Structure 1
């Protein structure tokens, strides 16, 4: 029986999310395409894997058992591919780096530009959602991940390479648009656009802690995925958003100003993660990243 691995990976993601829209977003495909993949897989193995109606998606008992086995199959396949690639190229000098959207503003470009020409190290970068970065490193599909929190995973090593100050993005016409600095404690009446937990749980948890230290729970008017959607939601709702200071480098249309935040605790970490059993080349990349971080004054 021949089964496309894309069907199996789509099944696993939907089984984790139990929500077609979120699963399709993680897979970077449209929702109808995901539905077609699931139906094709069910027809191929002649088993119904999900119970679904207009509101809910649930694994069938057969789906629960299938998930256990398929996860193991995919993990072993990914590990086999990684080992074959390393064997073919020796101690590979090309490092596969997965990163989350906001790390791409400044941190990632600086790290890639700072690789020593004579070190023999090269990097290939891939942008993913936060959960997918961790999953890709665990499954050896990527060598290194750059994320906004410590995943606390026994299979992964994690090192802090930056603490980046948060700034407040405000749209044109907002009452704070002509201000240069604010205190978080004075923003309890504002409406916030926040990246949702489902897309970036670690990032979301860090932001929640920042608000807790400021002494209030924010009123959220939109949960936007990273990128232009955040800026569009700011304008539409006359709301504000906490963003890493490096977002100022792109200064998106619709943002009137990025305001400095007085509180020192208003910052976001950037952590480099890799497997505990990483190759010498990956460890060399991690060491060089820490050196660059110190040179830039990030730590």
Structure 2
């Protein structure tokens, strides 16, 4: 019994390059082969599949409906295959190269412990640490500026993987030293009802912004406060508005301690969810370096719990 024709990986790469470029010459340049070789590889692929994938005229090149369907299924499968090969290669030679790590808020002791542990285990891999903007927790990961990031939860992005969680901390509320709450030892969330809570502006998703200024405290504030709660791009902007008595801001204890200033005080708050950090990376960007760093984050979390 004859088996199905075996498709060569070079034919698939040729088809995807042609689908991107829609030009035989440019596809050839991209693959470092001649234009005639691109045509031959495409013919071989179409013969193996049994249908036309590309329409070519003197004026344009375009995919057929069958070609469009084939591309939509081929590309994610090819990316998964490439990731598997890269992971196997990294495993064979050890974790090397560069790992870019983003952090949001504060690079606290647990994060630094995870980075130190990772570096000790993988001296051939260089780590870079980049601050992630408060109002754009996921952008750096999505755009490839970092390989992974430690961000405030929640994370509901379908294209991102949420890895290990760590650094669960009680929330504090930042208020001006002139605010009536400044001398309190602690507060309950209900007491924040009349206080505008400062939150992040876009591009942070609406669900994420709401989590940083919970509705249990901010819903009544919208109706009772004399001005709407400000939205900010950075933590420093938020703390400056706090110092000016424009509102209050919820922060975890380590971030509050790190960003301490003489005109702002931080009061523990009960009745709101703890602040939790999590490690995220692109679903199509998982590498051996990312997996090994995730293991270091888990170990640092267990050591600090």
User: Corresponding residue for 2:268?
Assistant: 260
The aligned counterpart of 2:277 is 270
Superposition deviation, residue 201 in structure 1:
4.6
- Quickly say closer, same or farther: Cα 1:254–1:231, change in 2 above 3 A: farther
1:142 corresponds to which residue? 146
Asked whether the equivalents of residues 159 and 282 of structure 2 are also in contact (C-alpha less than 8 Å), the reply is yes
The answer for the alignment partner of 1:9 in structure 2 is none
TM-score by length of 2: 0.58
Task: For residue 180 of structure 1, give the secondary structure of its aligned residue in structure 2.
Answer: coil
Q: Distance in 2 between matches of 1:140 and 1:229?
A: 26
| CA distance in structure 2 between the partners assigned to 1:232 and 1:131 by the alignment | 16
Distance 1:180 1:146, change over 3 A: same
1:119 Cα deviation after fit = 3.5
Indicate whether 1:289 and 2:269 are aligned. Answer: no
Change (3 A) 1:212 1:133: closer
Structure 2 residue 86 is matched with structure 1 residue 119: no
Q: Structure 2 matches for 1:10-159, cutoff 5 A?
A: 91-100=95-104, 102-104=105-107, 108-115=111-118, 117-120=120-123, 121-129=125-133, 134-159=138-163
What is the CA deviation profile of residues 16-35 of structure 1, one whole-angstrom value per residue up to 9, with x for unaligned ones? xxxxxxxxxxxxxxxxxxxx
- Conservation of the 8 A alpha-carbon contact between 1:150 and 1:158: no
State the SS of the aligned residue for 1:124: strand
Could you report, residue by residue, the CA deviation over 1:110-161 in whole angstroms, capped at 9, with x for unpaired residues?
A: 4324435133354211123367553443454421122213433444321242
* Contact in 1 for aligned 2:110/2:304 (Cα 8 Å): no
| Alpha-carbon separation, structure 1, partners of 2:215 and 2:234 | 19
Residue of structure 2 in register with 1:50 after alignment: none
Q: State the 1:294 CA deviation.
A: 1.4
The answer to whether the 8 A contact 1:130-1:147 is kept is: no
Deviation at 1:233, TM superposition (A): 0.8
CA pair 280-200 structure 1, distance change in 2 beyond 3 A: same
Equivalent residue runs for 1:168-179 within 5 Å: 168-179=173-184
Match for 1:188 among 184, 193, 209?
193
**Preserved contact between residue 181 and residue 260 of structure 1 (Cα < 8 Å):** yes
Paired with 1:197 and 1:140, the residues of 2 have a C-alpha distance of 19
Deviations 1:63-87 (A, max 9, x none): xxxxxxxxxxxxx9xx9xxx8xx99
TM-score scaled by structure 1? 0.59
| Superposition deviation, residue 283 in structure 1 | 0.3
Please report how far the alpha carbon of residue 241 of structure 1 lies from its aligned counterpart in structure 2 after TM superposition: 1.5
Deviation at 1:90, TM superposition (A): 7.4
Aligned partner of 2:210 in structure 1 is 205
Partner Cα distance (2:108, 2:102) in 1: 14
| Conservation of the 8 A alpha-carbon contact between 1:169 and 1:241 | yes
The match for 1:280 is 288
Unaligned runs of 5+ in 2: 1-78
Residues 136 and 242 of structure 1: CA distance in aligned 2, closer, same or farther (over 3 Å): closer
Pair 150,260 (structure 1): closer, same or farther in 2 beyond 3 Å: closer
Specify the SS of the correspondent of 2:277: strand
For the 8 Å contact 1:166–1:260, the answer to whether it is kept is: yes
Alignment CA distance shift 1:110-1:90 (3 Å): closer
CA 154–170 in structure 1, closer or farther in 2 if over 3 Å, else same: closer
Give 1 or 2 for the bigger CA radius of gyration. 2
